[in-house]
Structure 1
Amino acid sequence: MESIKRIPSLPAALSSLVLLISAVVPLATAEPTLTDDSQCGCYRNNDDTSTYFTNHRFFDFRSLADYAGVPAVVQDLEGSPGAPVTSDYFKSTDWTSFWWLGSWNNSNNARGDSTVTMTNSPNNVYIEANTEPDPSSQTYLTMRTQRLRGFQTAAEIESVSSDFKYLSLRMRARTVGAAGAITGMFTYRGGETLADVQEADLEIRTADPRNVMHYTNQPAYTDDGEVIAEATRNATMPGGLDWTAWAVHRMDWTPGLTTWYVDDEMTAQIAFQAPRDESNVILNVWSDGGKWTGNMTLLDAAYLQVQWLEIMYNNTDPEHATKNSKVRRDDDAAEGKGCGAVCSVDDTPELGKPVMLWNNAAVGVREAGAGRLIAWVPTGVVLVMALLSTGLLV
């Protein structure tokens, strides 16, 4: 008859179990690990929806002294749209793979009450030295609009791809200059009729009080000129700021919702007619002399100045996306569906570089709370190993 092995006391077994679990399931570092985009399967947004995006780009204009210089304004309407780019920075692959500079004019699609011909020019987008006292950057990107004799020269930056579907777009920026202009950051999908347009935008009117901003899911009016009140929220800059101060303006376009922030404080949220389909991403500064922009005084100018741009996004065009374009929720990511390695650009100690939150492709790294990760193995395996080590299983 086989002898029965001696069973250790319960306290001893529990002690061994705790020691074994501590050895097998160690806590990882308290802070997420700095990484790079090549290691990230997707990016988790820090908003209430916990949306997941599949791509990330960061454009840094803060240290580009080699490209800095303010170009003279092109004074003739014919030469303005065809002007060359203002520096080699705008010829770089990093730039041209994502953005192009607008050169269209409003002669064929002028707004109903516009009084001035407006043309976009590459000459109005340039890198500028930051000469303010105690500057927060060495340089920044400037977009310029100015009223000239006979026309308004303006600036637009538009994404090469028109296939963005959901994103979190951020810029550290300020608006300065004379009344009569609009600066904007928005998504845009055109259509054959006004009702077909899909657009989510931030607009700052330089004729407004300096703390007022306008957020809209366009269209904000009908063909008959009737205002659609549900489409717009008017807000003020938080914390006593005004839009001439540097601040991080952010727009999150998620399924059925558009949300805007300034310096991480929510300033507006609109579900009504949120964009549904693939769109472009656009920044601009412009005026057409109409009621919305105001009529800028001759030779006056206004500027959108940007220290950096950051975007997490999905893109349905494989040429402009490095991964499959899918929006992931917490339960999907936790189950390891699709994302694999999950990163964040919100919790990073280094602007523009992601941190790894967890990696389902590794030893099963999972989130354990704000800023903490744990490595896990199946509980049953741990218990079996623990019981074997203590002699509770023969």
Structure 2
Amino acid sequence: MLLFNTFLLAILATTAESKIDTSCTAFQSRGLAKSIWQYYRFYDFRNIGRSGSYNEPTVDSKTARIVTDRSWTDDWYLRDYPRKSPAPPIIPVDFIPERVNITNSTDDSRDYSTFLTLSSARIDDETQEGGEITFKEFNVTAASIRVYARVHGIRGACAGIFTYLNDTQESDIEIFTKDPQNIIHYSNQPASTGEPDWTPIPGATVNRTMPDDTKWTDWHMHRLDWIPDRSVFFVNGHQINTTTLHVPVASPPSGIYIDMWGSNSSWVGEMPIGGEAWFDIQWIELLFNASTPSPRAKDREQKLCTPDSDMEVSLGVGLASMKDSWMLTLFSFILTVFIWY
């Protein structure tokens, strides 16, 4: 039964497309941190380079931007400098653009032929490479970040989706390859008391079990909603955690980051030399507010829109946006028959 449900939801998720009216000037989201957002972005890595619509020019409206080609780097910076080590045995993380790639899929799927991959590898005793992309707008005051992704590879790496201003203004989704494949770490910084004992601060950091016996090695939608008084975390539309402790402030504003890294630390784990792990991403969806106007924004009469992929219980684009559609009817009929028999 569970496998059947997961299979059908996966079909719906991998057919996701973000359909946004180019006349929209504001966007809304549901959930505990429901908000009105100034700007919308959708970056689709599923079929980059394939003939057809995915080679058409990028849709570029006043406040909504939908990218289905390699121009996504117009909005994202590929990190090309290391993060220093605080002290041995922790080693520096050498973030390099070569660890960020469009990967040709070998999966048996007609829905995607490519995806974005961030990877981390232990090169030698003193070198751990990683991949990170940084959203170029560093004036974000609130955001809803959705990433349809999977993580796989050897222990000793961390996949991160987070907002960041500094080490005390940060909200994180972290998936550690050393952990059980159904555990995800959520935190707002500071998450511990610091040296010398590094005691976790209750409410600021938690480990949570993924819903419905799912694993992060499979494709799932990971979501972080950050507003100035709350952080809320989701998997596949299921709220997994929320906290009002150490929530990042709106002023000064933050940036948005997605990465895959390791450092030979007790926090991330030790990766053996020659080991590697991957963070595969089919698409990224952002709704955000900014302290100053986005470079692509212009003042107009407001038109409020809800993205198709924003739903209360679903994956990708989903059930909420398919109300009254034949697909939802068929889905419900098949599921009902399966349960009955």
| TM-score interval for Structure 1 and Structure 2 normalised by the shorter chain | 0.7 to 0.9
2:92 counterpart of 1:117: yes
Q: How does 1:1-394 map to 2 (within 5 A)?
A: 36-65=20-49, 92=71, 94-96=72-74, 98-107=75-84, 110-112=85-87, 114-134=89-109, 136-149=111-124, 150-190=126-166, 194=167, 197-224=168-195, 225-277=198-250, 278-320=253-295, 322=297, 340-346=302-308
Greater mean alpha carbon deviation, residues 173-182 or residues 131-140: 131-140
Q: What is the root-mean-square deviation in Å for CA atoms of aligned residues?
A: 2.8
Using the alignment, how far apart are the partners of 1:113 and 1:235 within structure 2?
30
Alignment partner of 1:292: what SS?
coil
Q: Percent identity?
A: 28
SS at match of 1:289: coil
Distance 1:54 1:297 in 2: 45
What secondary structure is seen at the aligned counterpart in 2 of 1:239? helix
Q: 1:347 to 1:124 in 2, by over 3 A?
A: closer
Contact kept in structure 2, 1:167 and 1:312, CA below 8 Å: yes
Matched-pair contact (CA < 8 Å) for 1:42–1:339: no
Q: By how many angstroms is 1:262 displaced? A: 0.7
Partner deviation per Cα, 1:265-321 (whole Å, 9 max, x = no partner) = 111101101111310000010011010111101111000000000001111232446
* Native 8 Å contact 2:157 2:271 kept in 1: yes
Aligned residue in 2 for 1:81: none
> What SS class does the counterpart of residue 38 from structure 1 fall into?
coil
Q: Structure 2: how far apart are the matches of 1:265 and 1:339?
A: 34
Q: Scaled by the length of structure 1, what TM-score is found?
A: 0.65
CA distance in 2, matches of 1:162, 1:220: 23
Q: Secondary structure of the residue that 1:95 maps to in structure 2?
A: helix
Residue 64 of structure 1 aligns with an amino acid whose one-letter code is I
SS of residue matched to 2:98: helix
What CA distance in whole angstroms lies between the structure 2 residues aligned with 1:103 and 1:172? 24
C-alpha displacement of 1:112 = 4.5
Instruction: Give TM-score, length-normalised by structure 2.
Output: 0.75
- Residues 51-81 of structure 1: CA deviation (Å, up to 9, x unaligned): 10011000000011469xxxxxxxxxxxxxx
Q: Contact conserved, 1:44 with 1:344, CA < 8 A, in 2?
A: yes
Structure 2 residue identity aligned to 1:45: S
Determine the C-alpha separation between the residues in 2 that align with 1:185 and 1:58: 16
Once the two structures are overlaid, the 10-residue window that deviates more, 155-164 or 128-137, is 128-137
Count of aligned residue pairs for this structure pair: 279
Distance 1:228 1:321 in 2: 40
Aligned-partner residue type, residue 342 of structure 1: L
CA distance in 2, matches of 1:200, 1:339: 33
Q: How far off is 1:39 after superposition?
A: 1.0
Q: Is the 8 A contact 2:19 2:307 kept in 1?
A: no
TM-superposed CA distance for 1:230, in Å, is 2.2
Any idea what SS the aligned residue of 2:83 has?
Answer: coil
Q: 1 CA distance for matches of 2:188 and 2:232?
A: 10
8 Å contact from structure 2 (residues 170, 189) kept in 1: yes
1:113–1:52 Cα change, 3 Å: farther
Tell me, what secondary structure is at the counterpart of 1:126?
Answer: strand
Distance in 1, matches of 2:230 and 2:145, equals 14
- One-letter amino acid of the counterpart of residue 144, structure 1: S
**Aligned equivalents of 1:113, 1:296: Cα separation in 2:** 15
Separation in 2, partners of 1:152, 1:48: 38
Report SS of the residue matched to 2:82: coil
Task: Using the TM superposition, give the Cα deviation of residue 137 of structure 1 relative to its aligned residue in structure 2, in angstroms.
Answer: 1.5
TM-aligned CA distance change 1:290 to 1:137, over 3 Å = same
Match of 1:30 in 2: none
When residues 289 and 43 of structure 1 are mapped into structure 2, their CA distance, relative to the original with a 3 A threshold, is same
Q: Contact 2:33–2:232 (CA<8 Å) still a contact in 1?
A: no
5+ residue gaps, structure 2, are 1-17, 52-68, 325-341
1:95: how far off? Answer: 2.3
Larger Rg computed on CA atoms: 1
Q: Distance in 2 between matches of 1:219 and 1:321?
A: 34
